[in-house]
Amino acid sequence: MSITDDTASRSIPGVAAQPALAFAAFPPDFLWGAATSAYQIEGAVHEDGRALSVWDRFSAVPGATYQGETGEIAADHYHHMEDDVALMAELNLNAYRFSLSWPRILPQGTGAVNERGLDFYDRLVDTLLARGIRPLATLYHWDLPVALQDRGGWLVRDTAYAFADYAEVVARRLGDRVEWWLTHNEPWCSTYLGYALGTHAPGLHDKQLAVKVGHHILLSHGLSVPRMRAHLSPQAHVGIALDFYPVYAANDHSETLLAVKQADTFRNRWFLDPLFRGSYPDNLFTNLGVTPPPIHEDDFSIISTPIDFLGVNYYSRMLVRGSEDVVIITEHTVPFNNFEAIERIPGASYTEMGWEIFPDGLANILTRIHREYAPKAMVVTESGAAFDDHLDDNNHIHDKLRIDYLQAHIQIVAQVIRQGAPIKGYIVWSFLDNFEWSEGYRKRFGLVYVDYPTQRRIVKDSGRWYASFVASQSASRPSF
Ligand code: FCB
């Protein structure tokens, strides 16, 4: 893959010429899209019969989020859905990844279906399809109904069965039209950030609880796959989106090499191994200092039910160094006291999240998963960056850093496809600026800027660049 011309950006008013990609790499049916999730954009938390989720409750706890911000209004997508989809079409997206809010559809988590909640997603799907945009639906992007949390949430096995019932309800309604499905988004985050680090809902600090939660989430995934398939078209694809941080060694000392292995087990293999190998990786629980969760006899065969594709969410890497010192635990470090994750690498560039920009890590993780786990297909279901976006006097957002970021990562995907990995799509996080969980609204990931007081949408330069790039792809329609 080489940078060969700049036609993809030449026609964009206000965007400085960016070198574009050679067009020969991507198959014609490649998914070019952007993603969001329900709680991060919808707002309308009290409307049409929706009940509360754990994120409504958690974000209301003083100090839980930046300046106490919540998803109560967010990007008000619930009321702007048609216009938002029209904007996706303007950006030439041929795919859109969204999540469904469980408490909109089953306010009590189980039992009575709230048809008005389902109607919203039904309309969304029809609106997308009318514009030639393929929907990728995620069932769970962290917003468990509080009704279920109050009955034990993911700490009880029953929640896994409740999830499978919910999955079937959704598949029955949308399965005739949606062909790409993800059960969960980033179970590592809902598990570890939610139950061990306490930075996400429900805000607990107990590693022992976290491993139990992780197991039930995996079980819920496996239980739901056949329940969904019974209502999907034969060509539908069912998968799960995991988040990955490839781990690199800062030196070649033996304690560092051991640290790399430990961090990789914890950060990348915890969920991958049960799904593809039907077991937890060796030493996962010992390293964490916990006992294994209760595992029933058939659990691993359920969890490792074959899936059609793996969603790969990639933002950054970890660079670790073996150490004698006890180090501070953050989202990016690891809960072990014999090594540290280096948070600021001299010479490296960082996004506003403090995440190192490291496109090669995407090649690393995609080729490694292909080689070692061989999923039938992969979609990059999240890739993107928060930068310090500002509206200029002409109402433009010149986010060249984001254009560079996307371009570099797309180039990596092209390279990995050429090496033979079955990558079927690239989905930018995010379509719109949105509620970035505990960071509130101050971190902007969108291709489209949201002016929250007015809910006006303004396409950033990166959105224009992406639109132009995607258009150039469909125009060239190369044979692969
Ligand atoms: C991922 C989440 C997504 C968003 C991005 C920045 O971990 O899936 O909701 O917060 O990070």
> Tokens 């933002």 sit at which residue?
315
Amino acid 24: pLDDT: 57
Q: Is the pLDDT of residue 104 over 70?
A: yes
Ligand 1 pocket residue status of 399, Cβ below 6 Å: no
- The tokens for 142 are 């962290």
Residues recognised as catalytic:
186, 382
Determine if the peptide bond prior to 293 is cis (ω within 30°): no
The Cβ-side half-sphere exposure at 298, using a 13 Å CA radius, reads 5
* Phi, psi dihedrals of residue 449, rounded to the nearest 5°: -80, 140
Distance 451 CA to ligand 1 centre (A): 20
- The tokens for 339 are 């090594």
Q: How far apart are CA 49 and CA 103, in angstroms?
A: 9
Which is more confident, 476 or 48?
Answer: 48
What's the rounded mean pLDDT across residues 199-214? 96
Amino acid 55: pLDDT: 98
Ligand 1 pocket residue status of 102, Cβ below 6 Å: no
User: Could you give the C-alpha distances from 222 to 235, 355, 409, in angstroms and in order?
Assistant: 19, 32, 31
Which of 315, 353, 382, 434 for a ligand 1 pocket mutation test, highest count of atoms within 8 Å of Cβ?
382
What's the rounded mean pLDDT across residues 269-292? 96
> Tokens 């109607």 sit at which residue?
119
Q: Is the pLDDT of residue 5 over 50?
A: no
Distance 446 CA to ligand 1 centre (A): 12
Ligand 1 pocket residue status of 436, Cβ below 6 Å: yes
Across 282-296, 323-337, 405-419, least confident range: 323-337
Indicate the pLDDT class of residue 344, thresholds 50, 70 and 90: confident
Shortest CA distance to 331 belongs to which of 189, 142, 141? 189
| Residue 153 DSSP label | G
Q: For 295-320, what is each residue's pLDDT tens digit?
A: 999 999 999 999 999 999 999 999 98
Q: For 9-54, what is each residue's pLDDT tens digit?
A: 334 444 444 445 554 579 999 999 999 999 999 999 999 999 999 9
Q: For 156-191, what is each residue's pLDDT tens digit?
A: 999 999 999 999 999 999 999 999 999 999 999 999
Q: How far apart are CA 230 and CA 305, in angstroms?
A: 14
Q: Is the pLDDT of residue 3 over 70?
A: no
3-state secondary structure of 361: helix
Amino acid 333: pLDDT: 52
Neighbours of 81 (CB within 10 A): 19
Ligand 1 pocket residue status of 190, Cβ below 6 Å: no
Indicate the pLDDT class of residue 396, thresholds 50, 70 and 90: very high
Amino acid 476: pLDDT: 58
Shortest CA distance to 44 belongs to which of 142, 128, 120? 120
Amino acid 340: pLDDT: 76
- The tokens for 149 are 């949390």
Ligand 1 pocket residue status of 186, Cβ below 6 Å: yes
Amino acid 334: pLDDT: 55
Distance 186 CA to ligand 1 centre (A): 8
Amino acid at 141: H
Q: Going by CA atoms, what residue is nearest to atom 5 of ligand 1?
A: 429
Output the CA torsion 140→143→147→153 (10° steps): 70
Which of 186, 191, 357, 429 for a ligand 1 pocket mutation test, highest count of atoms within 8 Å of Cβ?
429
What's the rounded mean pLDDT across residues 120-137? 98
User: Which residues lie across from 98 on neighbouring strands?
Assistant: 137
| Residue 445 Cα: closest atom of ligand 1 | 6
Amino acid 325: pLDDT: 56
Beta strand segments in 344-447, E: 378-383, 423-429
Q: How far apart are CA 430 and CA 81, in angstroms?
A: 15
Amino acid 16: pLDDT: 46
Ligand 1 pocket residue status of 435, Cβ below 6 Å: no
Q: Going by CA atoms, what residue is nearest to atom 9 of ligand 1?
A: 37
Amino acid 480: pLDDT: 38
Amino acid 346: pLDDT: 87
Q: Is the pLDDT of residue 457 over 70?
A: yes
Share of the chain above pLDDT 90, in %: 85
Amino acid at 271: F
Predicted structure pTM score: 0.94
> Tokens 């995991």 sit at which residue?
242
Ligand 1 pocket residue status of 429, Cβ below 6 Å: yes
* Phi, psi dihedrals of residue 91, rounded to the nearest 5°: -85, 5
| Residue 37 Cα: closest atom of ligand 1 | 9
* Phi, psi dihedrals of residue 448, rounded to the nearest 5°: -120, 130
Q: Is the pLDDT of residue 133 over 50?
A: yes
